[in-house]
Each structure stands twice: as C-alpha cells, then as structure tokens.
Structure 1
Amino acid sequence: MIIRKIFFVLFSITLFSLLLYSEDTNWVIRIKDGQGNVKKIMTAQDCMSEISNLMIFRGAPAEAAELLLTNDFQLWQFASQLIEQELVYMKAAEEGYDKDEDVLALISKERDNQLSQLYMQEKVADDFAVVTDAEKRKFFNDNKARIQASVGKAVTYEQVAMDIETTILQERMRNEYDKIIAAAQTNYNLKYSVTSDPCITIDDKTVPLSEFNDMFNESIKQAGANIPAALRIQARDGMFKAFVAREIMLYEAKKTGFYDTPQAKAIENFLTRSAVTANYVDKTIRSTIPKPTEEEINLAYEQYGKMYNIDSLPYADAQKALETMVIEAKTQQKYQILVTDLRYRYSIEKNLDLLLKK
C-alpha cells in the first residue's frame, strides 16, 4: 500500500513536471498582460501557419519560407511584425472594431477568394504553373507573325518570353475552368448566364448578377482605359467563365468541409487580424491626420519627387500623391507610438529557437 502511494506521488510529480515543462517550452510567442495573465500563446504550428499564409498572400515561392527559417534576423523581423499586429488587433478587438459589419463582409469575401484558389490548386497538377523553355519557344515560332505584327518585326524570343509564359498559363487556366464547369454540370444542377439574374445556380445556391457586374465594372475601372465594345464583351465573357468556376469551387469547398480544415481556419484568422487591424489604424489614426500644408507637400516633393517620378505626373495627380505620402508618413509615426505603448503595457516573451532550422 505504501509502495503504491509512493508510486502515485512520484507519477503525479512526474506528470506535473511534464505538463509544466510543456507549457513553458511549447510556445514561440507568449503575451501576458500587466497582471501576468496570458492573453495570447503562439505555438510553433501557429507560427508556421502564419509564415505559410504570408508566403501565399505575397505570392512568394516555397524557398522564401525556408530562407526565413534559416535566417536569425529575418525570423526576428517576422516575429516582431507578428507581435505588433497581434497587439494592435487585441486593442482593436477590445474597442469593438472586430464587430464592424463592413470589415466582416470584407473578410468573408477575401476568405472566399483565397480558399477557392487554394481548393482549385489541389485539383490541378503539381507542375501546372511550370512552363518549359521548349513550350515557350514553340509558341513563339507558331505565332511569330502575330507577335511581329503586335510588337515589331525585329522582336526576339528573349524580349517576349515572359509575356508568352503568361499567355500559356492563362490558356491553361481557361482549360481548367472548362473542366471544372463540365464536371459541375454532371455532379450538380448547374445553370449560368451572364445576362440572367441570378447569374449562377448550383443546386440550392444562387449568385446574383449584380455580384459579377460589380466585380467586372471594378476591373474595367482599374484598367483605366477606354476599351472598345467588342473587346469589352470578350473580356466580360472570359471573366464570367472564371467567376462561374470560382463559385463552383466555393460550393465544393464548403460541401466537402474544406472550410473547416486547419489550413482554412488559419487563413481566416490571418485575414481577420489583418483586416481588423487595418480598419482600426484607418479609423483611429489615418482619419485623424489633418490635410497636409503646402510646406509639408513641398518638403515631400524635395525628398521623394524624383525617386518616385512624381515630377513626371500632371500637377493635380502629383499633389494628390504627395498628400498621400505625407499622411502615410504621419500615420506610421503615430502607429509606432501606439505599438510602443502596447509593448510597455504587455509582457512579451519569444522562443524563436523552436522555429530556426540549423
């Protein structure tokens, strides 16, 4: 009986020690408030998800993540930025900015965009985005007359190789859209038309035509050019096919539970923190910056005019660009003051060795 008690006590101490050791070491970033209460813990898995999301949204190659994990300084920079954003997010959430309906709608829209793309990537071949030199040269030779008519007779392969690669990838993507739509017509009750409302019906899901029209009109506006009617219709039809494929991917992603996967949740958390933080900075800092004075604008021109070719812009555009520069500079100054204050308010601990790859 005594031996059992001794064993139980020893077992309990060992178990407690393991739990304590795990709690003390199984985190990369830990944030506590002034009373010592833990407000946020980021594990190695959390940080790896953040790194993965960062690479996805920046369009960076996988090698960039590997470089970050083997470079002490870059990893320290990443951790500092992550901590700063988390602190501001906590502040914004305390003041209710995470309940802003416009921000929630923006998060939902961006989440759908990102997850539909990721879900689609799982369905295409691993080498989908790989275009060989042989493929590009064949395209150049097969379409040489058309390329010369567009660019000039003296055009060389090297001058248009990157444009050719983009064209090939766009054609592949159009083919994938056709495959996705064809499969959906077999698997679901699918109806779609760029002139009807709703413009897409997938089983019991409907998509209003206004949603596509808003997206298309915004794309035309961003193009900043007068597009001939025939090309406008061609662009609309091409974009609508991509829109239909995206909605199908969204429907499938939700239907198959992809939205509930750890990867999807990590992306949603990343987008939420980014959007709420940006909204907080915009509402509490940027909007409070007064209109720049003429002296401030002239000073900005002296410092950045030639660097950013502002002196080549029409006067009104140059003034607007300079005003934006002054406002953003002041916003960053106030933002850093806010971050410094929050860093003093909280206790921040880092254990980056758990991420570093030697």
Structure 2
Amino acid sequence: MTIFRKSFVFIISIFIFALSLCLYGQDNDWVIRIRDSQGEIKKLFAVNDFMSELSNIVVLRGLPTENLNMLLTNDLQLWQFASQLIEQELVYMKAVEEGFDKDEELTSTISRERDNQIAQLYMQSKLRDGFDVVSEEEKRQFFNNNRERLQAARGNNIRYEQVAMDIEYTILQERMRNEYDRIINEARTNYKLEYSSTRDPCVIIDDKQIPLSNFNEMFNQTLRQSGENIPPALRVQARDNMFNAFVAREIMIYEANKVGFYDNPEAKAIENYITRTAVVAHYIEKTIRSTILEPTEEEINQVYEQYGRLYRIDSLPYAEAQKALETLVIEAKTQQRYQILTTDLRYRYNIEKNLSLVENLGKSENVN
C-alpha cells in the first residue's frame, strides 16, 4: 500500500542518515542510553532503532506517514514518545529478569501476532502502486450503480456525500478479496496447496500443516469483537470470506519465511516491537491488574461522579454501567501503580537522551 511504500522510503533515508553519523564516531550515534548503577549499558537506542520504533507506531496503527514527520518536528510529542519508550523498556527489562517472557501462552500469542503483522507487511510489498487509492469517479460510479440498494438500507433521501467513505471501504474490501483469490491461485502453481474449512488440518502448504483450530479461533474472535451482531443467515458467507483471507495469510507467512523476509530489518523491528509490547502488557496484567481488589461502592460512586456523563455510562443498562465503572476504577489503580513502578525503575538506572539527532533528521526531511 502507499503508506507502507512511503514508510519504507523514509526508513531507508533514516538508515543512510544513521550510517553517516558513524563517520563522527559510534559514541555519538545514540538517542537513548540506559546504564545500570555500575555504569554498564543495558540498552541503547541508536538513531535507526529509535526511528524504527516511531515507524512501527505508524505502520501497526495504520496512520498516515505524515504523522512520522509531525512527531519529529514537535518537541513535546517527541519528548513524550521518548519517555514512554524508556518506561516500556525499563518494565520490559524487569519482566525478562523475572522470567515473565517465558510464559508458553504469551510466546504463542506473540508468534501469532508477529506472523499476522509480517504477513501483512509482506503482502503490501507485493501490491501494485495505488492499490489503496480509490478515485472519486470510482466511488460515484458505485453510488449510481447501487443507488437502489443504498436507498433501501439508508432511506430514499440518501446523498453521495453521506456514504462516500463507506463506499471507499467497500471498494477496497472487494479489491482485497480479489487479491486473496490471486494469491491462492498463484500458490496452487508454486506449491502443493490443499485447503478446506471443514477438515483438519484446514490448510496444507507443501509440508506445512495449519490446524483447523487456528481458523476457528480467529473466526470466533471476530464474532466476539462484532458483539455477535452478524446475523446467523450471513455467518456462513462471513466464514467463507474469512477463510479465503486466512488461507491467503498463511500462504504469505509461508512465502515470507521461504524467501527470508522475516530477516528483513523492518520485519525484525516489528517483531521486537510486538514482543516488548506483549511482554510488558503480560507483566502488568500478572503483577498489577490481577492483584487489585474488587472496587468498593464508594469508589464506584466516585468514578461515576467524575466520568459517568463524560463516557455516557448513565445511558447504559445497569449491569453494563456497573461493569464499566468497575473497569474504570481498576484501570485507574493500575495506572497509578504502573507510574510508581516506572518511577522506581528510573531511579535505579542512569538514563540519557540525545533527541537532537532525530530532531535534526525531522528538519532535514521538511527541507527536502
């Protein structure tokens, strides 16, 4: 997609910039440096490391590439991001030190998320330029060709401007379904491929077998995220569509492994980002959130007074409102304890920041 290609070009320029810094000595090529009480360097973010972290935020959240330049040229946002990165790294080091990165369920989750993100990244590298660009002419043609259906769903007075974004999404989804079909058809030629959503294993690519439980777990998670709002009559169609996407994804994972794409610097950076984020979240869940007692009535009432109307909790059914308020109390306490933890960790280490390097990079990008 365009976002990924722009991001890739920008990252290449970052690596060139970082390489040029080596001419002045490696000791200057760092943005964040963390030392222990004995002065030993425990973690060092070089320019390319720091920029990879920023790029990962843009890529994984699907943000416009311009957000990267905005971060680089906004002193406050850059400082905030650096502080968050430091805190996360300190908690990650503590979690690893205490063995929280060895949890079998966690490593399985990290592996699945890594495969999913790298498969998407690999697929983007194979898409044609402008794949994600939908012209005004295409959207208006879709509107005219489907006017009756849109009127039946949204009313006779429906206007193009009201549904333009929905139309763009629909066109992109159709393109993506066609892309899945193309990937599967090509794989039939290149590999020994078998697949079925009713047997186990559900996908076989050469000697690799993917169990049906993997697909069922993905489909059931999607149902939960949709609030079980997919009508039973449409679930069969939804399952078939999702299975095609699942097969295409597994092909991309297999091919990315086969051609060594997992060793690509951008793929490695995403894997490291996913791993650290997941380990930190796991550590917080196990050592902080799970230890917080059930909120008292007084705490719930206090939170309601502060946030009830802001989050429109008073419009929810009683049981949902109660659950939402309890969650707010627990999350507030979790955040408080997390801040205490990170403050304590900051005192244990000597933390140095050299943000001028990336600030200069942002200025040079703007000039160019």
Q: TM-score, length-normalised on structure 2?
A: 0.90
Per-residue deviation, residues 256-310 of structure 1 (Å, max 9, x unmatched): 0001111111111101110111111111111111111000000100111110010
User: Which runs of no fewer than 5 residues in structure 1 stay unpaired?
Assistant: 1-17
Secondary structure at the counterpart of residue 122 of structure 1: helix
Give the counterpart letter for 2:317 in structure 1: P
Q: How far off is 1:23 after superposition?
A: 3.7
CA distance in 1, matches of 2:309, 2:126: 47
- The residue number in structure 2 matching 1:282 is 285
- The residue number in structure 1 matching 2:59 is 56
- The residue number in structure 1 matching 2:304 is 301
CA distance in 2, matches of 1:173, 1:104: 30
Q: Does 1:355 align with 2:363?
A: no
Greater gyration radius: 1
- The residue number in structure 2 matching 1:164 is 167
Per-residue deviation, residues 210-236 of structure 1 (Å, max 9, x unmatched): 211121122123222354443111001
Q: Does structure 1 conserve the Cα–Cα contact (< 8 Å) formed by 2:119 and 2:249?
A: yes
- The residue number in structure 1 matching 2:324 is 321
- The residue number in structure 2 matching 1:310 is 313
CA distance in 2, matches of 1:201, 1:185: 11
2:276 to 273, 277, 302: 273
- The residue number in structure 2 matching 1:331 is 334
- The residue number in structure 1 matching 2:210 is 207
Secondary structure at the counterpart of residue 181 of structure 1: helix
Q: Does 1:233 align with 2:201?
A: no
Give the counterpart letter for 1:354 in structure 2: L
CA distance in 2, matches of 1:265, 1:280: 22
User: Which runs of no fewer than 5 residues in structure 2 stay unpaired?
Assistant: 1-20, 364-368
Secondary structure at the counterpart of residue 60 of structure 1: coil
Q: TM-score, length-normalised on structure 1?
A: 0.93
C-alpha change, 1:202 and 1:150, in structure 2 (3 Å) is: same
Q: Does 1:346 align with 2:352?
A: no
Per-residue deviation, residues 76-103 of structure 1 (Å, max 9, x unmatched): 1111110000011111111111111111
C-alpha change, 1:227 and 1:86, in structure 2 (3 Å) is: closer
CA distance in 2, matches of 1:222, 1:141: 32
CA distance in 1, matches of 2:32, 2:231: 55
Secondary structure at the counterpart of residue 355 of structure 1: helix
C-alpha change, 1:144 and 1:91, in structure 2 (3 Å) is: same
1:95 to 89, 93, 98: 98
- The residue number in structure 1 matching 2:258 is 255
Q: Does structure 1 conserve the Cα–Cα contact (< 8 Å) formed by 2:22 and 2:29?
A: no
CA distance in 2, matches of 1:284, 1:226: 35
Identity between Structure 1 and Structure 2 (%): 68
- The residue number in structure 1 matching 2:124 is 121
Matches within 5 A, 1:146-225: 146-225=149-228
Give the counterpart letter for 1:152 in structure 2: G
CA distance in 1, matches of 2:124, 2:291: 42
More displaced 10-residue stretch of structure 1: 175-184 or 68-77:
68-77
- The residue number in structure 1 matching 2:142 is 139
The total of aligned residue pairs comes to: 341
CA distance in 2, matches of 1:106, 1:162: 33
Q: How far off is 1:75 after superposition?
A: 0.9
CA distance in 1, matches of 2:79, 2:269: 21
- The residue number in structure 1 matching 2:8 is none
Secondary structure at the counterpart of residue 354 of structure 1: helix
CA distance in 2, matches of 1:126, 1:78: 31
Q: Does structure 1 conserve the Cα–Cα contact (< 8 Å) formed by 2:32 and 2:46?
A: yes
